[in-house]
Amino acid sequence: MVSSIDLKALNVFTLSTVTQDMIHKLVVKTLQVIPCLEDKNKKTTSEGKPLPSLMTFINRLVRYTNVYTGTLMTTLVYLERLKQKLPKNAQGLPCTRHRIFLSCLILASKFHNDSSPKNIHWANYTDGLFSITDVNLMERQLLYLLNWDLRVSNEEMVAHLGKFLDPIKEDLIRSSKMRQYLQKQQQAVAAQLQAEKELLATPSISRSSSTSSALSLGHMPSHSRASSMASCHYRQDSTSSVESLSPVMTKRWTNGVDPRIEMAARNEEKELTRMLDHLCKGSN
């Protein structure tokens, strides 16, 4: 079972460009498939063209085809399967390894891409090293040896590409840790800002309440004094009103007596005075 980090690393790898390290890996793997006889002259064609090194041959194919990294490195799986299929005592010609790699690349390109060069084009990519007949034959032979099973799993790719995936996984893990660290830092800063905001908001309300209370208390004495003065003024106004009303009421009462009663009262007063005078004289 492939882990998520392996899948991510594999995706990153397949999107990268082809490097010489990848080609070197393919050369080493191809050399391990089958031992070949040494040909000192290295003449393989009727025209007497020398057989290029496997490194040169693969580099030329990569340059001509502009093959994707994923397609190119899938040949590692086919090379390993072919190695397991061939007899232990099998031995090839000097050009056998070139044929093996070319046929693996052709099948990988046709199976894993919607469009792929035709065999006539592949023959041209060899710069005359192999004819169209040779290309058709090596393709059929490899299909037979692989039992027509060209499927490649993620597990197989991860197993063959460990050298290339390990640095990518380290970078992914490092990036993930960095993202987590930055996320925690951002959360901590956000929490601190929120705490400071709440801290600044709470004293502001208290100061506002205190100020309001102080203002209320400051206005209360003047209001009380104003009320007291209003009360004093009210009492003064009340006293003044009573004093101003008393003569009026007295005058009103005086002016309201019947003249006859007033005359009778005066006559009685005179009579009483006369009687008192008479008594005083009689006692003398």
Q: With cut-offs at 50, 70 and 90, classify the pLDDT of residue 56.
A: very high
Candidates 1.20.1070.10, 1.10.472.10, 3.40.190.10, 3.10.20.30; CATH matching 4-165: 1.10.472.10
Q: What is the pLDDT of residues 239-277, one digit of tens each?
A: 444 344 444 444 444 455 677 777 877 887 887 888 777
Kindly write down the DSSP assignment for every residue of 144-179, as one continuous string. Answer: HHTTT-----HHHHHHH-HHHHHHHHHHHHHHHHHH
Residue with the two structure tokens 């003449």: 43
Distance between CA atoms of residues 32 and 39, nearest Å: 18
Distance between CA atoms of residues 279 and 272, nearest Å: 11
Q: With cut-offs at 50, 70 and 90, classify the pLDDT of residue 58.
A: very high
Residue 230 has pLDDT above 50, yes or no: no
Alpha carbon 46 to chain centroid, angstroms: 66
Which token pair is 202? Answer: 């709470």
Domain boundaries, the chain: 4-165
> What letter represents residue 224's amino acid?
S
∠ CA 92-97-99, nearest 5°, is: 100
Residue with the two structure tokens 């290339």: 164
pTM above 0.75, yes or no: no
Question: DSSP label at 43?
Answer: B
Question: DSSP label at 49?
Answer: P
Q: What is the pLDDT of residues 97-154, one digit of tens each?
A: 999 999 999 999 999 998 899 999 999 999 989 999 999 999 999 999 999 999 999 9
Residue 233 has pLDDT above 60, yes or no: no
